């Protein structure tokens, strides 16, 4: 076992070395021979009518010389210096393609035209003639019948602070990207067209360079609120293009395709000449805007009210050290005015270096990149250091055999701090709730400040500085992701290919929370002061994709292609953790120093295998009528042996997931030839079955888990084991229109979709006598309907170019059935309760409705509302209590008065982007927005509970104090006997926002020297402003990918406002 | 599949509006959502209590006093205060000696300010006693503050509440302060003051070092001195402001009369009547002169029960004077006729509370069984069985026995269930005090019977004889077994001995 591990450990390095050296040798071999690739001119002399035309620059109207004009597979010509050309065409119904360096590629159906004027936009212009790149092939968007979007990153040199997932925000219609937090590299959760599952993953499948990229998390992080994001190992600058398949046509990836597929293709050498790109960036991350909290004066008055409400006599209140204004030894400890948020947040710096070399010869081409990122967090003492390398190469081994190698190795080190619901160990949360009259350092009776930090305070709140200075939470991760794809030309039209690749990922975490300055934790059998832990997670995936493909055009009218193949994944993951407590001193921080009696070991092993047999066939007639058929037949070790769907081979169930799509390119029809304003018009429809295999590796089987009983270890049944457990089925229907008008000045795609999930995984509560709380079964269904709109428009097209882009997504989710149709499922997170019930969206906030605060005792007694205490006494509300709505009319405010109080799903989300280009200048502005989503402000529910010693927000200054006072903040009551702070619409806020997400200015320095090819300067601002009514740090956050945590603000590190200045030099 | 769903159109319209609104809001600059929430407005939220006082012209005198005494600064700090401010006219007649003496004025002003907030939102019949900054408690009801009426209530401020009152509330003495400065009942006062003791409190004294041998702190002489008083600690702490008491001060004649009734029970071993007798007698009188609870003259019942379970007979016509102290009531009484029988109560000596045995090595024969009597009430008893010692003495030491003639009873029952001693036997009691020995002679113990009547008699107290104690002090009582070593003969059995004084 150990040997295998070390072999695989060394494998990436060895492979890297081998491939790199091959490339270098082939490079040296061919020095001097390197020539730029040549356009292949058809061998046969074509005969037919002549087409005349001009190709002009759409912006200036000037003729463009040296552009390639052709009829695919028939004839080709070059434009002269005035842009004129003459081309032999088979007939005047042919399709002419125009392309050339620096300009977009465009297709024009002649539709009888004999004289042609083609207006071309520049290469980076977003067009429906762009290509969408899949795993091994690419297809022009105008030919695609499914719902597909493509993004060409253009190197994204301006946006180096992104990870691939956050990069997609606002760029794909239908994809709602919600960033998890402001922590560097933590990424985002992607919701493509809403969600398709309530208990399985809703994240799309990532396919990087033809290989499935494992973006799952294996085991949770030791560090509170942290999520390890595997996508951060891909540098955005390495990405060439991204294609997102949103509809049923993704079904070719079988039971992994339910949430769509994101194809990421990394940079390949496009030219043989050696190109060197070097960039360096430096930037600053600004301290977030602070939440307005009470100062010492306001807080002490609040405490006075609070203590009095708790029945503490005034003599005892006056004797409390923080209420004693007489000079005494503790005077200076308790008489300060500290802004604790200042103690936690810092303006910090980020830097980034990146080097890319591409080049090669006839035999081998390569793209090599090396990057380094150091990004300090806005939480003091946190940072991310990342080294990434990538080596992509293409080999022409024989005339028939070619190979591609894509190898990437990334290493990342990150210093983190607890966030989120780890309230006692999160520096942010402690800073928010800590009494402002305290100070971070110890102080003596004469106001001499000690360098040693203050211990946990009189209210048991940790010292945020201790959590920053003494606590340690670090991760060290690496991932090797590499594949080799062989391609053998069996015949003129037949290719045989096979890809084999491995993912090897290791994450190590170490964690230490000191005893001094941190409030204790209570364990089952001890008090924990210091906390120590460490964890290792490993993932090893072996992946292969072998296929045979056929492609042929008959009579230049019938284009046929088909691919059949199989994909195989063998995934092994393991996580091991050790946790202990109470090391002797805060200097002993490693796991071995903790108390042996409290040591706790655990972990997980996960293995599964997946086999996906697929067939993809497509046919089009004259590039006008398109028909595609996909079929996947999936087997997986996760499926239960008695699964109802699919069919069985040798007792193992296989999922059968077909899809069909068709499109009609209306604009290529003859009758459209008069409508010159319309460049392109296409309608398309698709329907397909997709599946979700995220049902747990072993859930369908019965297993045992360890159980400790009075110090003895034993095994107990871990689950029921459901042999009928199977993949979730998502049927996806899509109807779309693509259109481009006025020489593509306006292009538009609209998609209507309906996703129906059946066999949806439900955790059904069971009877107590069963001994297990839940049983997992495929017993629910739901539907998501929605619309995506993508719009691109060139508003100005003179020397100043202005492009406006817009994406817009809306969806509505509805649960169609549950195991018990009249019942509901309740889920809780961070104090919030979500309800899932038939007929409405799956994750609605469920709590109490409020209507202000009783202004007086008479007002309260007028309603006669009471609560029942746990012992059964009735207690009436009084002045200053929250006026809860009595929904069921029994005058008792209890669980039965809960109603739906919010919906975390947005009414719509999207973006609009602006791009200005003027001479050497370019300016990009991307705005993202979300409208109508409700958020549960957990942070504010702590800062405005007015029920404990936590410091409160300034809103609590307006708390109810006197009879007749009209306010919406209840009175301060110690321990909240009336439940004023319970989960209610007081904490539900409108999460709508509009954000200037990125503003990037680029300048191309005009160069006289030939030593440099180019030099560019970028200034980028991220998250520059956000317009929102939301009262937390930022309305964008996402604790976990689960829909049952969506919209809960658990005090995570807010999104960072940052600026970067970068220089890029080309050699 | 129906795709023309209404909501999509609705959302799109909303979207367009949203775009327009966003553009508008960008143009009108971002409005800070927190500004509004955190903004406090209105006098109640922005002015301090002191500001409120200053704003009221009718409180200018009190405001001046607040400034003079330094309270003005205190009630401007970030803690909650309630101020009952007397109007200018209410302060017109304030004793000039208070106004001129800053220390006195500070105590006076402090009598109108309390920590925390107290509003008049309580029911009309509720009286709260509120701790003032000067350490006194003042009663506060919906309409009154001590004797003053609240003319303007519940003026809320940022840091508390202001009530305007129509009279000054003078600082009242506590019961103990009153007694200490009393001009009548001097004999009682003198006696009570004589109970004062001064001692050094280790927690308050200055520590100058630590004894290298014992490790104990070395205290600086003269520091940390505290005065304690036996009456306050043993009877009622009537100097405590927090609780309320009723205290009776006897006029000299009455005090003397009560002492005279008791003095013979405190015959001392020294020359009579000496200081010991006087002190003991005086203590016995005063120990029943304070009770918990403030009984106003109207509420005063005919009798109250003291902490020592002595009835305090109250003849309202005997009240010479009464004083409402800050922590209760003081009544000066011309007479208070205590019952001597209650003051000199019967003494019960439990058989199992043994001081010593005359012979060692009998521990295997000594039992303390718990048994049930004829009424089913369980009792603990002493039984020495099969000790093999002739005339075994079991000694009980009785302390502080008043000088009197006592009728001696015992209860000792043999033959109960499980008792090995089934037949009667003899034992005797011998008393030794102040050189007088009383031997009450061997008496048979009772035997439990199955007959209810006989059993009731067996379980009743059995009169043994009389014992005369001539001097107040300690008495040794011995229970002696028969002069035999025989089993069932030299047994000792005792539930209790009762000494009932003969009151003359």
At B215-269, the pLDDT tens digits run: 888 888 888 889 899 999 999 999 999 899 999 999 999 999 999 999 889 888 6
Please, which residues have CB within 8 angstroms of residue A454's CB and are 6 or more apart in sequence? A333, A438, A439, A440, A441, A442, A463, A465, A466, A517
End-to-end CA distance of chain B: 113
Distance from CA of A297 to the nearest CA of B (A): 5
B79·A300 Cβ contact <8 A: yes
Going by their DSSP bridges, the two strands A521-522 and A494-513 should be labelled as: unpaired
Note whether B30 contacts A1025, CB cutoff 8 Å. Answer: yes
CB within 8 Å of chain A, chain B residues 435-454: none
- What residue of B is the nearest CA neighbor of A906? B11
Distance from CA of B24 to the nearest CA of A (A): 11
Residue A71 C-beta-side C-alpha neighbours within 13 Å = 25
Q: Which residues of A touch B79 (CB under 8 A)?
A: 300-301, 304, 323, 325
How far A310 CA lies from chain B's nearest CA (Å)?
12
> In angstroms, what separates the C-alpha of B322 from chain A's closest C-alpha?
29
Q: Are the beta carbons of B37 and A314 separated by less than 8 Å? A: no
Cβ atoms within 10 A of the Cβ of A1003, count? 15
Q: Contacts of residue B242 in chain A, CB cutoff 8 Å?
A: 315
Question: Which tokens is A179 given?
Answer: 């960033």
Distance CA A355, CA A377 (A): 24
Using alpha carbons, select from A146, A199, A160 the residue that is nearest to residue A834: A199
Question: With contacts defined as CB-CB under 8 Å, which chain A residues touch B121?
Answer: 857, 879, 963
Is B197 an interface residue toward A (CB < 8 Å)?
Answer: no
B78 CB near a chain A CB, below 8 Å? yes
Contacts of A787 in chain B (CB under 8 A): 8, 12
> A1033 with A1054: CB under 8 angstroms?
yes
Coil/strand/helix, residue B182: coil
Q: Is B131 in contact with A754 (Cβ distance < 8 A)?
A: no
Determine the Cα–Cα distance for residues A126 and A123; give it in Å rounded to an integer: 8
How many other CB atoms are found less than 10 A from the CB of residue A480?
A: 24
Tell the burial category of B1 from Cβ atoms under 10 Å away from its Cβ (0-12, 13-18, 19+): exposed
Instruction: Name residues of chain A where pLDDT drops below 70.
Output: 1-46
Chain A contact set for B37 (CB, 8 A): 953-955, 958, 1031
Question: Cβ B8–A1025 below 8 Å, yes or no?
Answer: no
Q: Cα(A922)–Cα(A1007) distance, rounded to whole angstroms?
A: 17
Beta bridge partners of B319: B333
Q: Which residue of B has its CA nearest to A324?
A: B79
Scan residues 241-260 of B and list those with Cβ closer than 8 Å to A: 242
User: A304 to chain B: which residues are within 8 Å by CB?
Assistant: 79-80, 115-117, 159
- For residue A3, give the 3-state DSSP assignment: helix
Which among B45, B131, B154 has CB closest to A315? B131
**Residue A437: which of A342, A518, A307, A332 has the closest Cα?**
A332
Collapsing DSSP to helix, strand or coil, B161 comes out as strand
B4 to chain A, closest Cα gap in Å: 9
Q: Give B120's contacts in chain A (Cβ within 8 Å).
A: none
Cβ–Cβ below 8 Å for B119 and A908: no
Helices (H) and strands (E) in chain B, counts: 16, 34
CB A973 within 8 A of CB A309: yes
* Cβ separation A963–B119 shorter than 8 A: yes
CB burial of residue A716 (10 Å; 0-12, 13-18, 19+)? exposed
b/e B44-55 (16+ beta carbons within 10 angstroms → b) = bbebbbbbbbbe
Gap from B78 CA to chain A (nearest CA, Å): 5
Q: Is the ipTM of this complex over 0.95?
A: no
Beta-carbon separation of A931 and B14 below 8 A: yes
User: CA B159 to CA B117: how far, in whole Å?
Assistant: 8
Retrieve residue A504's tokens. Answer: 């090897």
> Distance between CA A741 and CA A756 in Å, rounded?
34
Beta strands in B369-452 (DSSP E): 370-372, 378-380, 382-384, 393-401, 404-411, 413-414, 426-433, 436-439, 443-444, 446-447
Which of chain A's residues have a Cβ under 8 Å away from the Cβ of B131? 313-315
Interchain proximity B131–A314, CB inside 8 Å: yes
How far is it, in rounded angstroms, from Cα A299 to Cα A307? 12
Given phi > 0 = left and psi -120 to 50 = alpha, else beta, which region is A420? left
Round to whole Å and give the CA distance between A436 and A580: 32
CB atoms within 10 A of CB A799: 10
Within 8 A of A300 by CB-CB distance, chain B residues are 78-79
Residues of chain A contacting B3 with CB distance shorter than 8 Å:
735, 752, 754, 785
Structure token pair of residue A170: 């606002």
* Whether B30 contacts chain A with CB within 8 A: yes
Which of B78, B117, B131 lies nearest to residue A296, judging by beta carbons? B78
Q: CA angle B51-B54-B57, nearest 5°? A: 145
Six token digits for residue A138: 């690419």
The helix (run of H) or strand (run of E) holding residue A464 is helix A464-469
In terms of CA atoms, which chain A residue is nearest residue B23? A994
Q: Do B116 and A308 touch (CB under 8 A)?
A: yes
What does the radius of gyration of chain B's CA atoms come to, in whole angstroms? Answer: 37
Tokens of A185: 């590299």
A967, B124 in Cβ contact below 8 A? no
Structure tokens at A1053: 């590190």
pLDDT tens-digit map of B46-55: 889 999 999 9
Question: SS3 letters for A942-963?
Answer: HHCCCCCCCCCEHHHHHECCCC
Q: Which member of A300, A314, A1029 has the closest CB to residue B33?
A: A1029
Strand partners, B372: B378
What order do you get walking across the sheet with A84-88 strand by strand? A84-88, A50-57, A115-120
CA-based nearest distance A425→chain B, Å = 27
Q: Is the confidence at residue B193, as pLDDT, over 50?
A: yes
Residues on chain B touching A939 (C-beta within 8 angstroms)? none
Chain A residues closer than 8 Å to B29 by CB = none
d(C-alpha A912, C-alpha B483), whole Å = 117
Residues 6+ apart with CB under 8 A from A1022: A161, A997, A998, A1056, A1057, A1058, A1059, A1060
pLDDT at B140: 93
Closest partner residue to A1027 (CB to CB) among B22, B154, B159 is B22
Q: Fill in the DSSP letter of residue B87.
A: P
Q: How far apart are CA A19 and CA A14, in angstroms?
A: 9
Q: At A910, list the tokens.
A: 């999207």
B59, B64, B69, B70: CA torsion to nearest 10: 90
**Closest chain B residue by Cα to residue A316:** B115
Q: Mutate one of A173, A301, A791 to test the B interface: name it (highest B CB count within 10 A).
A: A301
Local confidence band at B205 (pLDDT 50, 70, 90 cut-offs):
confident
Q: A661 — phi, psi (to 5°)?
A: -145, 150
Instruction: Please answer yes or no on whether A812 and B5 come within 8 Å at the CB atom.
Output: yes
β-strands A993-1005, A1014-1028: how paired?
antiparallel
> What residues in B contact A314, CB-CB < 8 Å?
114-116, 130-131
- Could A300 and B78 be called an inter-chain contact, meaning their C-beta atoms sit closer than 8 Å? yes
CB A434 within 8 A of CB A426: no
Query: What is the chain A residue with the closest CA to B118?
Result: A308
Q: Which residues of A touch B5 (CB under 8 A)?
A: 785, 812
Would you say A635 and A652 are in contact if contact means Cβ atoms under 8 Å apart?
yes
Residue B115 near chain A (CB below 8 Å)? yes
Q: Which residues pair with A244 in a beta bridge?
A: A149, A262
Instruction: Please give the pLDDT value at position A751.
Output: 95
What burial letters (b/e) apply to A867-884, b meaning 16+ CB within 10 Å? beeeeeeeeebbbbbbbb
Tell me, what's the pLDDT at A622? 86
Task: Enumerate residues 130 to 149 of chain B having a beta carbon within 8 A of any beta carbon in chain A.
Answer: 130-131
Which regions of B171-279 does DSSP assign to beta strands (E)?
196-200, 207-210, 217-219, 225-229, 245-250
Cβ contact, residue pair B78, A1025, below 8 Å: no
In A605-639, which positions are buried (b, 16+ CB within 10 angstroms) versus exposed (e)? ebebebbbbbbbebebebbbebebbbbbbbbbbbb
Q: How far apart are CA A662 and CA A660, in angstroms?
A: 7
* A254: its two tokens: 């079988």
Which are the contacts of A1057, defined by CB distance < 8 A and separation ≥ 6?
A285, A286, A288, A1021, A1022, A1023, A1024
In contact, A63 and A84? CB cutoff 8 Å: yes
Sorted by sequence, the CB contacts under 8 Å of residue A130 that are 6+ apart come out as A104, A105, A140, A141, A150, A152
Rounded-to-integer distance, Cα B346 and Cα A830, Å: 68
Q: How many Cβ contacts (< 8 angstroms) between chains A and B?
A: 120
**Substitution target from B26, B33, B115 for chain A, most A beta carbons within 10 A:** B115
**3-state class (DSSP) for residue A407:** strand
Helix (H, G, I), strand (E, B) or coil at B341: helix
């Amino acid at each position: 076992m150990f040997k295998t591990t070390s072999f695989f450990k060394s494998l990436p390095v060895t492979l890297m070395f081998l491939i790199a050296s091959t490339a270098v040798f082939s490079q040296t071999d061919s020095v001097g021979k390197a020539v730029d690739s040549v356009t292949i001119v058809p061998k046969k002399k074509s005969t037919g009518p002549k087409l005349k035309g001009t190709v002009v620059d759409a912006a200036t109207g000037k003729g463009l010389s040296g552009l390639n004009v052709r009829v695919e597979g028939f004839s080709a010509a070059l434009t002269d210096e005035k842009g004129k050309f003459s081309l032999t065409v088979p007939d005047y119904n042919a399709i002419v393609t125009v392309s050339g360096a620096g300009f977009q590629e465009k297709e024009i159906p002649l539709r009888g035209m004999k004289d042609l004027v083609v207006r071309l936009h520049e290469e980076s212009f977003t067009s429906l003639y762009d290509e969408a790149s899949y795993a091994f092939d690419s297809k022009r968007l105008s030919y695609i019948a499914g719902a597909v979007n493509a993004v060409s990153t253009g190197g994204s040199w301006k946006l180096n602070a992104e990870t691939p997932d956050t990069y997609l925000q606002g760029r794909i219609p239908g994809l709602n990207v919600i960033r998890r937090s402001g922590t560097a590299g933590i990424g985002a959760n992607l919701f493509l067209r809403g969600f398709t599952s309530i208990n399985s993953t809703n994240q799309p499948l990532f396919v990087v360079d033809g290989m499935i990229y494992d973006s799952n998390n294996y085991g949770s992080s030791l560090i509170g609120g942290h999520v390890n994001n595997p996508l951060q190992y891909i540098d955005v600058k390495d990405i060439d293009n991204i294609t997102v398949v949103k509809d049923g046509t993704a079904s070719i990836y079988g039971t992994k395709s339910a949430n769509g597929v994101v194809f990421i293709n990394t940079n390949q050498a496009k030219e043989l000449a050696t190109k060197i790109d070097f960039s360096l960036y430096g930037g600053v991350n600004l301290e977030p805007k602070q939440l307005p909290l009470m100062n010492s004066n306001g807080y002490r008055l609040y405490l006075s009210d609070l203590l009095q409400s708790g029945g503490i006599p005034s003599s005892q209140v006056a004797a409390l050290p923080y209420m004693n204004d007489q000079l005494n030894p503790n005077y200076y400890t308790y008489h300060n005015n500290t802004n604790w948020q200042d103690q936690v947040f810092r303006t910090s710096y980020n830097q980034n270096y990146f080097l890319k070399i591409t080049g090669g010869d006839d035999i081998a081409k390569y793209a090599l990149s090396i990057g380094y990122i150091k990004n300090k967090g806005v939480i003091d003492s946190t940072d991310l250091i990342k080294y990434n390398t990538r080596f992509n190469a293409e080999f022409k081994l024989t005339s028939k055999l070619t190979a591609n190698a894509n190898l990437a190795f990334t290493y990342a080190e990150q210093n983190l701090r607890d966030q989120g619901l780890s309230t006692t160990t999160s520096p942010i949360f402690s800073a928010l709730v800590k009494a402002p009259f305290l100070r971070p350092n110890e102080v003596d009776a004469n106001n001499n400040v000690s360098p040693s930090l203050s211990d946990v305070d009189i209210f048991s709140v940790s010292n945020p500085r201790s959590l920053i200075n003494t606590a340690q939470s670090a991760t060290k991760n690496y991932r090797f992701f590499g594949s080799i794809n062989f391609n053998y030309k069996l015949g003129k039209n037949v290719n045989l290919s096979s890809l084999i690749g491995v993912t090897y990922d290791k994450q190590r975490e170490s964690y230490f929370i000191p005893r001094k300055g941190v409030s204790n934790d209570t364990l089952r059998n001890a008090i924990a002061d210091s906390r120590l832990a460490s964890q290792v997670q490993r993932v090893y995936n072996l992946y292969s994709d072998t296929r045979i493909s056929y492609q042929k055009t008959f009579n230049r009218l019938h284009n046929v292609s088909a691919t059949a193949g199989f994909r195989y994944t063998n995934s092994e993951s393991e996580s091991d953790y050790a946790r202990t407590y109470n090391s002797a001193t805060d200097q002993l921080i490693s796991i071995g120093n903790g108390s042996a009696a409290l040591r706790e070991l655990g972990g997980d092993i996960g293995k599964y295998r997946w086999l996906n047999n697929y067939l993809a066939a497509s046919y089009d007639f004259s590039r006008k009528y398109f028909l595609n058929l996909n079929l996947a037949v999936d087997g997986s070790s996760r499926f239960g042996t008695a699964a109802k769907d699919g069919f069985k081979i040798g007792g193992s169930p296989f999922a059968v997931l077909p899809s069909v799509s068709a499109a009609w390119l209306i604009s290529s029809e003859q009758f459209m030839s008069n409508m010159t304003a319309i460049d392109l018009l296409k309608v398309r429809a698709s329907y397909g079955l997709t599946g979700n295999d995220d049902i747990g590796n072993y859930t369908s089987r019965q297993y045992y888990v360890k159980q400790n009983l009075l110090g003895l270890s034993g095994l107990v049944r871990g689950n029921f084991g459901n042999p009928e457990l199977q993949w979730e089925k998502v049927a996806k229907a899509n109807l779309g229109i693509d259109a481009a008008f006025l020489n593509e000045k306006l292009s538009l795609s609209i998609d209507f979709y309906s996703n129906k999930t059946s066999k949806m995984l439900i955790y059904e509560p069971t009877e107590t006598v069963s001994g297990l709380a839940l049983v997992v079964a495929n017993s629910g269904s739901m539907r998501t309907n929605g619309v995506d709109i993508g719009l691109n428009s060139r508003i100005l097209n003179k020397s100043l170019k202005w492009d406006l882009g817009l994406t817009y997504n809306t969806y509505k989710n509805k649960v169609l059935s549950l195991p018990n149709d009249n019942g509901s499922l309740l889920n809780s997170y961070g104090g919030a309760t979500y309800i899932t019930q038939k007929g409405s969206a799956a994750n609605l906030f469920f709590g109490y409705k409020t209507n202000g605060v009783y202004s007086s005792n008479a007002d309260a007694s007028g309603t006669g509302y009471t609560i029942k205490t746990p012992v059964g006494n009735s207690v009436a509300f009084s002045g200053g209590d929250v006026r809860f709505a009595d929904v069921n009319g029994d005058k008792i405010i209890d669980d039965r008065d809960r109603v739906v109080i919010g919906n975390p799903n947005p009414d719509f989300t999207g973006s609009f982007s602006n791009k200005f280009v003027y001479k050497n200048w370019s300016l990009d502005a991307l705005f993202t927005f979300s409208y109508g989503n409700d958020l549960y402000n957990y942070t504010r529910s702590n800062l405005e509970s007015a029920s404990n010693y936590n410091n409160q927000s300034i809103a609590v200054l307006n708390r109810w104090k006197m009879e007749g006072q009209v306010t919406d903040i209840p009175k301060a009551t110690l321990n909240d006997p009336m439940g004023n702070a319970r989960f209610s619409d007081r904490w539900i806020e409108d999460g709508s926002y509009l954000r200037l997400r990125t503003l990037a200015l680029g300048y191309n320095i005009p160069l006289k020297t030939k030593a440099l090819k180019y030099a560019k300067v970028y200034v980028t601002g991220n998250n520059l402003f956000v317009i929102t009514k939301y009262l937390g740090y930022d309305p964008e956050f996402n604790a976990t990918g689960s829909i049952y945590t969506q919209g809960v603000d658990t005090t995570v590190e807010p999104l960072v406002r940052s600026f970067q200045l970068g220089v890029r030099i080309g050699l | 599949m129906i795709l023309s769903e209404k909501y999509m159109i609705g959302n799109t319209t909303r979207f367009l509006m949203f775009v327009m609104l966003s553009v508008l809001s960008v143009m009108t600059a971002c409005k800070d959502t927190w500004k509004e929430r955190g903004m406090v407005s209105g006098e109640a939220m922005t002015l301090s209590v002191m500001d409120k006082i200053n704003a009221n012209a009718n409180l200018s005198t009190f405001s001046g006093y607040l400034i003079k005494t330094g309270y003005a600064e205190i009630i401007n700090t970030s803690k909650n205060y309630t101020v009952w401010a007397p109007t200018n006219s209410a302060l017109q007649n304030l004793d000039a000696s208070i106004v001129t003496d800053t220390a006195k004025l500070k105590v006076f002003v402090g009598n109108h300010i309390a920590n925390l907030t107290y509003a008049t939102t309580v029911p009309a019949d509720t009286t709260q006693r509120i701790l003032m900054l000067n350490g006194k408690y003042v009663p506060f009801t919906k309409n009154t503050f001590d004797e003053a009426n609240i003319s303007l209530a519940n003026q809320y401020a940022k840091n508390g509440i202001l009530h305007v009152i129509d009279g000054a509330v003078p600082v009242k003495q506590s019961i103990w302060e009153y007694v200490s400065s009393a001009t009548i009942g001097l004999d009682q006062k003198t006696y009570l003051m004589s109970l004062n003791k001064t001692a050094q409190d280790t927690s308050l004294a200055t520590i100058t070092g630590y004894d290298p041998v014992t490790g104990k702190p070395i205290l600086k002489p003269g520091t940390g001195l505290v005065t304690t008083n036996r009456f306050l600690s043993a009877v009622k702490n009537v100097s405590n402001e927090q609780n309320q008491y009723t205290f009776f001060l006897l006029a000299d004649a009455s005090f003397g009369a009560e002492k005279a009734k008791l003095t013979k029970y405190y015959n001392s071993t020294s020359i009579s009547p000496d200081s010991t007798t006087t002190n003991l007698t005086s203590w016995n009188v005063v120990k029943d002169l304070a009770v918990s609870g403030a009984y106003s003259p109207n509420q005063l019942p005919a009798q109250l029960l003291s902490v020592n379970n002595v009835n305090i007979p109250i003849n309202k016509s005997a009240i010479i004077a009464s004083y409402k102290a800050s922590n209760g009531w003081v009544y000066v009484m011309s007479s208070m006729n205590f019952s001597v029988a209650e003051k000199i109560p019967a003494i019960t000596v439990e058989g199992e509370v043994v001081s010593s045995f005359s012979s060692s090595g009998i521990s295997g024969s000594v039992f303390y069984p718990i048994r049930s009597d004829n009424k089913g009430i369980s009792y603990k008893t002493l039984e020495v069985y099969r000790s093999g010692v002739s005339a075994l003495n079991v000694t009980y030491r009785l302390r502080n026995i008043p000088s009197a003639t006592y009728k001696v009873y015992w209860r000792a029952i043999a033959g109960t269930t499980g008792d090995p001693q089934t037949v009667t036997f003899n034992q005797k009691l011998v008393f030794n005090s102040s050189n007088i020995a009383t031997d009450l002679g061997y008496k048979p113990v009772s035997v439990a019977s199955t007959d209810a009547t006989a059993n009731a008699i067996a379980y009743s107290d059995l009169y043994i004889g009389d014992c005369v104690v001539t001097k107040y002090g300690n008495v040794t009582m011995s229970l002696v077994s028969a002069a035999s070593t025989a089993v069932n003969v030299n047994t000792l059995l005792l539930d209790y001995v009762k000494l009932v004084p003969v009151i003359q």
